A and B are shown apart, each in its own frame.
Chain A
């Protein structure tokens, strides 16, 4: 394609956006709105995921060292064996003295009168990579010689896993539905602009324009509108998220729940927004004009 022809087609794309100002505005608004909803759902699901991951970290397994191992050093030596168990990413040794101190701090001192630390066992506080495999890991930890007993709250772990799965599935379904919705709305919007121009298209066909020549300005129009919608949607979500995050920090819940910083998801999010916007725009344009090219 020659330079002057490409320049002409690009100019035509821009001209069409200008001359169909209201429809262009409507298209951009619709893409922006859909992307804001999609982005909010994605961010919500990312945050729930992060929250659950956080809770998982706090969901520890406690392995008690056998009473026969008395001295601290040989008890602590078991750490190597524990770390060798798959799915274990951390193990903190807690001596019987430390365990008693921590226990006493929680309860009334009088309860502990006449009791010394030998009542307690040395123990390890163990963190798992994947809590869904907690039962297997528990069995493997119990198999280590020198470990007497492992306390693991398998029921809680299962519940967390279930919640996380539900959240992922629901957000996936919603995202797919919204992608289709915005594609169809976009396509119909461009269809309305092409409807007003079917005469023009018919004339182009009559004087011998090729289909690609007729299609290109519409594709460029869709591309520009999609790009614009994507960028606006991204900026809007960025703004909303930042405001939400800072207002949440001011409230009481903010001290328990914190949102993922936007910086961490900014670039993948921007890429996804621009990508989805452009795809919806281009395919919307191609789809909208298809019927008029059949003459």
Chain B
């Protein structure tokens, strides 16, 4: 669950106003597309959710954590409730598919037994069974992004945050990936996908939040990406 109230973010170094008075709520179990042109503030909004940057003003609550008052030491607790996915996959090149996913569990102190049980299950869920021993550079882009999704899912997060997850994929792979997100969403995980791909957004009938120039300009319940923005 994400709740933002009058959130403003101004970057100190450049005095750029990235977000200006944002109000939005994403409820538990929702599937939301966050769209907008480059430089509109999408990435900043995502970084506020993951705690990578701090808001200049306003209130942010992420999965019951107060992101304005939270101490840096406590950030790992928030992040364990989130699964984050990036456009460039960010896999560890010298680890196998299995280890890339298991790594996320080890990092949060999971026991060997539960790792051995959970990792194959998640890999099967994203359709990577039989690929456990491969290294990232032996996989296609779509497969690599599935590994990243498996890694994000493995700790059973309450919410998945994906920043341009289909940016490096062809339309067919992108659609497959979105279907995977839909499947994960149906299992109860909240999904927030940041993207600027109109066709993809419009192919699904989901809630679409559009931001431009640091403002929410539309919040539409059934999937419409405004063409005028481009």
Using a CB–CB cutoff of 8 Å, the interface residues on chain A facing chain B are 2, 4-5, 8, 19, 199-200, 202-211, 213, 295
CB neighbours (8 Å) of B112 from chain A are 4
B107 at the interface (CB under 8 A from A): yes
- Beta-carbon contact of A19 and B94 below 8 Å: yes
Contact of A207 among B94, B111, B151 (CB under 8 A): B151
Least CB distance, A222 to chain B, in whole angstroms: 20
Complex: A209 Cα to B52 Cα, angstroms: 14
- Beta-carbon contact of A208 and B92 below 8 Å: no
CB within 8 Å: A-B pair count: 49
Complex: A144 Cα to B29 Cα, angstroms: 103
B109 at the interface (CB under 8 A from A): yes
With A203-B92, A206-B50, A210-B76 as contacts: A4 and B111 at CB distance below 8 Å: yes
Q: B68-90 vs A: 1/0 string, CB under 8 Å?
A: 00000100111110101000001
Contact of B108 among A199, A200, A209, A295 (CB under 8 A): A209
Contact of B52 among A4, A200, A204, A295 (CB under 8 A): A295
Contact of B79 among A200, A208, A213 (CB under 8 A): A208
- Beta-carbon contact of A208 and B52 below 8 Å: no
DSSP majority for the A interface? Answer: helix
DSSP majority for the B interface? Answer: helix
- Beta-carbon contact of A207 and B107 below 8 Å: yes
Closest residue to B88 on the A side, CB-wise?
Answer: A199
- Beta-carbon contact of B94 and A199 below 8 Å: no
With A199-B90, A199-B92, A203-B92 as contacts: A208 and B50 at CB distance below 8 Å: no
B183 at the interface (CB under 8 A from A): no
Of the A-B pairs whose beta carbons lie under 8 Å apart in the complex, a sample of 7, sorted by A's number, is A2-B109, A4-B111, A5-B109, A8-B106, A208-B108, A208-B155, A210-B76
Complex: A4 Cα to B112 Cα, angstroms: 8
B104 at the interface (CB under 8 A from A): yes
CB neighbours (8 Å) of A202 from chain B are 90
Using a CB–CB cutoff of 8 Å, the interface residues on chain B facing chain A are 50, 52, 73, 76-80, 82, 84, 90, 92, 94, 103-104, 106-109, 111-112, 151-152, 155
CB neighbours (8 Å) of A203 from chain B are 90, 92, 103
With A199-B90, A199-B92, A295-B52 as contacts: A205 and B109 at CB distance below 8 Å: no
Least CB distance, A18 to chain B, in whole angstroms: 11
With A199-B90, A295-B52 as contacts: A206 and B109 at CB distance below 8 Å: no
- Beta-carbon contact of B77 and A208 below 8 Å: yes
With A4-B112, A295-B52 as contacts: A209 and B107 at CB distance below 8 Å: yes
Closest residue to B106 on the A side, CB-wise?
Answer: A8
- Which of A203, A205, A208, A295: most chain B CB closer than 10 A? A208
CB neighbours (8 Å) of A206 from chain B are 50, 79, 84, 90
CB neighbours (8 Å) of A204 from chain B are 107
With A2-B109, A4-B111, A295-B52 as contacts: A207 and B104 at CB distance below 8 Å: yes
- Which of A4, A19, A211: most chain B CB closer than 10 A? A4
Contact of A200 among B78, B92, B109 (CB under 8 A): B92
- Beta-carbon contact of A205 and B79 below 8 Å: yes
- Beta-carbon contact of A208 and B106 below 8 Å: no
Closest residue to A210 on the B side, CB-wise?
Answer: B76
Complex: A199 Cα to B108 Cα, angstroms: 18
Least CB distance, B151 to chain A, in whole angstroms: 7
Least CB distance, A12 to chain B, in whole angstroms: 9
CB neighbours (8 Å) of A209 from chain B are 76, 107-108
CB neighbours (8 Å) of B151 from chain A are 207
Complex: A152 Cα to B76 Cα, angstroms: 75
Closest residue to A295 on the B side, CB-wise?
Answer: B52
Complex: A5 Cα to B111 Cα, angstroms: 8
Least CB distance, A2 to chain B, in whole angstroms: 7
Least CB distance, A5 to chain B, in whole angstroms: 6
Closest residue to A213 on the B side, CB-wise?
Answer: B107
Complex: A4 Cα to B116 Cα, angstroms: 14
- Beta-carbon contact of A207 and B92 below 8 Å: no
Least CB distance, B179 to chain A, in whole angstroms: 24
Least CB distance, B48 to chain A, in whole angstroms: 14
Given contacts A5-B109, A19-B94, A209-B108, 14 further A-B contacts (CB under 8 A): A2-B109, A2-B111, A199-B92, A200-B92, A206-B50, A207-B80, A207-B104, A207-B108, A208-B79, A209-B107, A210-B73, A211-B73, A213-B107, A295-B52
